[in-house]
Amino acid sequence: MDDRRRKTRTTGQVTEPGGEATKGVSGKDKEGARVAEVLRRLAEHYRNPRTELSHRSPFELLVATILSAQATDRSVNEVTPVLFDRYPHPGSLGAAKPEELYPIINRIGLFRNKARSLVGAARMICEQFGGDVPRDREALLRLPGVGRKTANVVLSNAFGVPAIAVDTHVFRVSRRLGLADEKTPERVEAQLQSVIPRESWSDAHHWLILHGRQVCSARRPSCQECFLVDVCLAGKAGG
């Protein structure tokens, strides 16, 4: 390297030949700025986000979220009014037989398995948690039909606990945007937690879902119309 252009150890500056020292910008700083801009635009575009699953209580949200696995929120919202009217609390649902739920939820995929999970979860809530949906992640994960995504949805939306639930939309969009690059939902969740401020975790979950539904679809993402294309790694690479 020309000794007239050198980086000093003490200041981190680069001196150009015939010019003044200019402060270098690291790749880490540039990436941090890019991520911050992605989050800023998402927050600006998707204001006051919230779950689209209709519910009036933590119990109803738990039931709706269990039903939503591999199903659309719209299809779940079509069956839950009758379900909640007939089984309004854990005690009534826990006293039911799974097959009694079939006629109500049979439009939902995997409805037999989900009926068993719903009844089992309701019974455990009554027997081990005094009839109240637990506010603790580990306790929620003990309930039949509840995985980490469902637990995070309930914690975030019912109890206001900062959490990032990684569903298919969050997984896909976060990787395309370059917010994460891991290959499992659990590891993507950890990466998102490391780059997104804790106070924005719950909102970020909704931002990524909405962006995945409205713009960044699985098969044909609308990159040309996307307000993030210039800061998106997949967009810069051509989709």
103 by Cβ neighbours in 10 Å (0-12 / 13-18 / 19+) ranks as exposed
Query: Position 52: which residue type?
Result: E
DSSP 13: E
Residue 181: active-site member:
no
Give the residue carrying structure tokens 């097959």. Answer: 99
Q: 85, 167, 183, 230: which one is catalytic? A: 167
Among 123, 199, 188, CA closest to 156: 199
Residue 230: active-site member:
no
Among 226, 221, 212, CA closest to 174: 212
Contact 63/52 with Cβ under 8 angstroms? no
Q: 149, 183, 203, 236: which one is catalytic? A: 149
Query: Position 112: which residue type?
Result: R
Known catalytic residues are: 149, 167
